[in-house]
Every structure is written in C-alpha cells, then in structure tokens.
Amino acid sequence: MATKPSIPKGTRDFLPEQSLKRQFIFDTARQVFQSYGYVPIETPAMENLDTLLGKYGEEGDKLIYKILNNGDYLSKASDEKIEARDSQALSVEISDRALRYDLTVPFARFVVQNQNELSFPFKRYQIQPVWRADRPQKGRYREFYQCDVDVIGSNSLLNEAELLCIIDDVFNQLGLGDVTIRINNRKILSGIAESAGLSGYFQEMTVAIDKIDKIGVDGVKQEMIRNGLPEAGVKKALNLIKLKGEPFGTLKMLAGAVTGAEEAYKGMEEVRTLLKALPEAVREKVELDLTLARGLNYYTGAIIEVGHPDFPSSICGGGRYDDLTGIFGLTGMSGVGVSLGADRIYDLMEAKDLFPKSIKASSEVLFVNFGDAEAMQCLKLAADLRSEGISAEVYPDGAKMKKQMKYADDKGVRVVIIVGEEELKNGMTAVKNMASGDQELVAQKELTSFILQTLR
C-alpha cells in the first residue's frame, strides 16, 4: 500500500500553475469562438464501441481504449473466442463502450442524434479530452485535450474564411500573431493527379505527399514508385506540387500546367474565393502550399494547417469534409472545421514565455496568522478585499512567522499583510510588498483602497 503512487504511462497530472495556463488557452479560444457565434457542446467520454470502430482505419481501431463490461461479462462471451485466446475478437464481446478517440466522430454522431434540436448551419466548438493507446513519446500523450471548432450544414466558403479569421484572432490574443497559415485544396490535388495520369492512385499519392516534411521530395517519389505509381506521372505530379509562393501568382502558374483537369480549376476557384473573403491582415499570413495533403480521407475541399517559426510541427489543422455525418445516416451535410493543438500551443507559449504574469497559482494577498483574535480580524479584512475582486487568504494556523513567509514566497503571493497584537489594538496593518520588499503601515480602514492602488 505504501509504495509510491503513480499514474498510467502517457497520462499527466497538472499542477496548479499548469492548470491555470491551460485554462487561459481554453478561455481565450472559447471567448473568440463565441464572438463569432460558435457555441459549445459536450459529449460523453464513453461512446458505444460500434460508434467508434471502423472510423479510424485498422490501426486506429487498435488504439481505441475499450471499457470492460461490468458484472459477469464472460458469461456472454463466445466460448470459441475464449478457447482460442483471441484477444482482439473477444474484446468486442466483453466491451460495449470505449473512450472517445477524437472529437470529430462524436460530433458527427451528436449532430445526427440531436438534429431536431439544432439550427443549421450549426456552428459548434468542443474542448474535451480524448484517449489513444498510442506509444507515448515526447509531446505525445495517451490522454490529451482537443479543441475543435466546426460549422456543419453549409457549403459556403465564407465558413473557411471565418475559421481562418478565428484562428488568427486566437493566435493574436495568445501572443502568437506571427503564425503562417498554409492552405491547399483537395480538389487541386485531385486535378493534379488527373493531369498526371494518377487518378487511380489518388489516396496513395496524398498519403505519400503528406510525408514530404519528413522524408523530402525524393523520399515521396520513391514511396510512390515503390507503391506501383507510374514514374512519369509521379514526376509530373511532384513538379506541380512544388510550385510555391504568393497565392494568386502560384494559382496562375498552376492553371497553365493542369489544362483540362476540371477538378483542379474548381479547387483553384475555391482558393481564390477564400482568399478574397479574407481581411488583408489575415490574407498576408496565408500561403498556398500544394504539398499540403493531410492524410485524413474525409477531407474533400480546403485543407488548413497553421505553423509557427519557433515550433517544429503544426499547431492547428483542419479542412472541409463533404459527408462526415453520412456514416451515421445523415447525408448531404457539408462541414468544415479546425482543431487547435492545445498541448503544442502550451509548450510553444511556455518556451516563448508568453503567458501573462498575472497567472499565478496563488492568491494576491496573504494575511499572516498571529493567533485567534488577530486572525478573526484578518478574516474580515480579507472578505473586504475579496468584495473588491482581490483574491486573499488568511494563513490558517498560528505557525511561526518564518514558515508563513516561506509559504507566501513559495506561492508567489504579491502582498503580505500583518496584523499583530499591536496592530489589532490600534486598527493598523503592516503591508509588505513582496516584489520590492517595502513595508508600510496602513490603517485597516484604508486597507482595501491601498491594496487596490498597489495591485491594480
């Protein structure tokens, strides 16, 4: 019993300061989302297993955490699978529920299940944890938060434009205004595949291109050829996706190179419309990057990825999907959304020291406890401070001064207030500013206004 307790690999405890900083990121995002009319939903951590299975590919299915049925679960399982010790086959018989793997599939399920309660286009955000039985490594956890914002039930490209504005607002407010927003369009990629004679290999092509940051153009080329794609086509496609630079110019060059590929023209027109709908301040952060593919198969139009010069991987990504709710029986609902990488944003902000200094795991004011009578008076003074919005606490025990001051120091309290026997008698307090070390005598009557002046 007395062994040192621990938590499962890949999960984390958050200490107060971390927790407050995370809260700051979420509150900032939430406030921006709401300013654009997006509203929150919450879905249960546990979904029915068959809601999740088959939605993330074979590999994904293996990473879903299944919840063991309660009670005598073995009595309902098939003898055959038990005898064969077939763990995988048995798991669906002994677990009806699983932990959500992302927020996208639960969102689709939510929209279909609650469609009669919703007004469309439905603009929602959702900030909740997800769980994946992935191999833990630096920056990759088994429990982590996703922060998704989507609109469903509208084809308009204004939605894409709005999402880019939202992203820009959030990052500006977090002090990360120097992001680069890379966009692409699946239809352009599909047109490039067509004009390179690779239409039959579209998925293999996008999966390979998706790795360009990791394995380079040559690596992508080799992978495509290894997978049986015709070499001439591979070369042509790779030449096209390498086009880069100012978006409108790039589109022009591309237009000359993919003549006849209808789908590509459609995609280019979409990109143009999106760019024109953006305010200048956002547009200048946008790059058209034809190498942006994003492996996820459900994307059908715009693809979005946000990067920051001081961070190696993307901190936000998303795109347009034309039939997400189809898997649950509701067709014809186009949607578009992005997901903020909360953990990465946290790490980046921490590295760049961007969290407001006011985020402290502490009250602003601590009253030293000199004994019962003095503490009683401090309780009243603390209540007065709180009523003016100043967080304040009274040290609960009449401990040694040194211990109480160490507590104030460790927590990062800004002001320590002392009411000793003498001060109690003559209605005074000694106020110590922890940053400057200055100490001042202040009448109890004037304490609140003095502290307000010091701290605000």
Please say whether the dihedral angle defined by the alpha carbons of residues 348, 13, 410 and 174, taken in this order, is positive or negative: positive
Q: Which is nearer to a copy of itself, 351 or 376 (CB)?
A: 376
Q: Which of 173, 218, 222, 329 binds a copy of itself (CB under 8 A)?
A: 329
For a copy of itself, the closer CB: 117 or 309: 117
For residue 272, state whether it binds a copy of itself (rule: CB under 8 A): no
Please, what is the angle between helix 186-195 and helix 231-241, to 10°? 140
- Told to check if 161 binds a copy of itself by CB under 8 A, we report yes
CB of 254 to a copy of itself, least distance (A): 23
Q: Given the rule CB under 8 A, which of 114-122, 256-264, 285-293, 414-422 is the region that contacts a copy of itself?
A: 114-122
For position 327 contacting a copy of itself by CB under 8 A, the verdict is yes
- What is the smallest separation between the CB atom of 222 and a copy of itself, expressed in angstroms? 32
**Which of the residues 121 through 140 are near a copy of itself (CB under 8 A)?**
121, 123-124, 129, 131, 133
Q: By C-beta, is 162 or 194 nearer to a copy of itself?
A: 162
Q: Which of 58, 59, 116, 119 binds a copy of itself (CB under 8 A)?
A: 119
Among 114, 203, 297, 313, binds a copy of itself (CB under 8 A): 114
Residue type, 178: D
Q: Shortest distance, CB of residue 273 to a copy of itself, whole angstroms?
A: 8
Among 265, 355, 407, 450, binds a copy of itself (CB under 8 A): 407
Helix (H) or strand (E) holding 94: helix 87-94
Q: Of these, 59, 87, 138, 453, which contacts a copy of itself (CB under 8 A)? A: 87
Tell me how far apart the alpha carbons of residues 156 and 274 are, in angstroms, rounded to a whole number. 10
- Does position 59 interact with a copy of itself (CB under 8 A)? The reply is no
Burial 274-290 (b: 16+ CB within 10 A, else e): bbebbeeebbebbbbbb
Q: Which of 25, 29, 90, 251 binds a copy of itself (CB under 8 A)?
A: 90
Asked if 74 and 127 count as a contact pair (C-beta separation under 8 A), the reply is no
- The answer to whether residue 294 forms part of the interface with a copy of itself (CB under 8 A) is no
Binding residue (CB under 8 A) for a copy of itself from 151, 286, 288, 451: 151
- Is residue 78 part of the contact set for a copy of itself (CB under 8 A)? no
Site for a copy of itself in 19-38 (CB under 8 A): 19-20, 22-23, 34-37
Is residue 404 involved in binding a copy of itself (CB under 8 A)?
no
Q: How far is Cα 44 from Cα 78, in angstroms, rounded to an integer?
A: 29
Q: How far is the CB of 168 from a copy of itself (least distance, A)?
A: 11
DSSP per-residue string spanning 364-384: SEEE---SHHHHHHHHHHHHH
Distance CA 413, CA 46 (A): 40
Among 58, 71, 214, 453, binds a copy of itself (CB under 8 A): 71
Contact status: 389 vs a copy of itself (CB under 8 A): yes
Q: Does the protein bind a copy of itself through residue 363 (CB under 8 A)?
A: yes
Gap between the Cα atoms of 204 and 277, Å rounded: 33
Long-range contacts formed by 321-327: CB under 8 A, 24+ apart = 323/298, 324/104, 324/107, 324/108, 324/152, 324/298, 325/108, 325/111, 325/112, 325/152, 327/55, 327/105, 327/108
CB nearer a copy of itself, residue 22 or residue 235: 22
What values do phi and psi take at 170, rounded to 5? Answer: -60, -50
Identified binder of a copy of itself from the candidate list 58, 85, 309, 426, rule CB under 8 A: 85
Among 28, 53, 93, 96, binds a copy of itself (CB under 8 A): 96
Q: Which is nearer to a copy of itself, 244 or 386 (CB)?
A: 386
- C-alpha span between 212 and 215 (Å, rounded): 5
Q: Does 444 bind a copy of itself (CB under 8 A)?
A: no
214 binds a copy of itself (CB under 8 A): no
AA identity, residue 230: P
Tell me the angle at which helices 158-173 and 16-35 cross, rounded to the nearest 10 degrees. 140
The yes or no reply on residue 41 touching a copy of itself (CB under 8 A) is yes
Cβ proximity of 264 and 192 under 8 Å: yes
Residue 221 is a binding residue for a copy of itself (CB under 8 A): no
Is the four-CA dihedral 239, 245, 249, 250 of positive or negative sign? positive
Query: What is the chain's length?
Result: 456
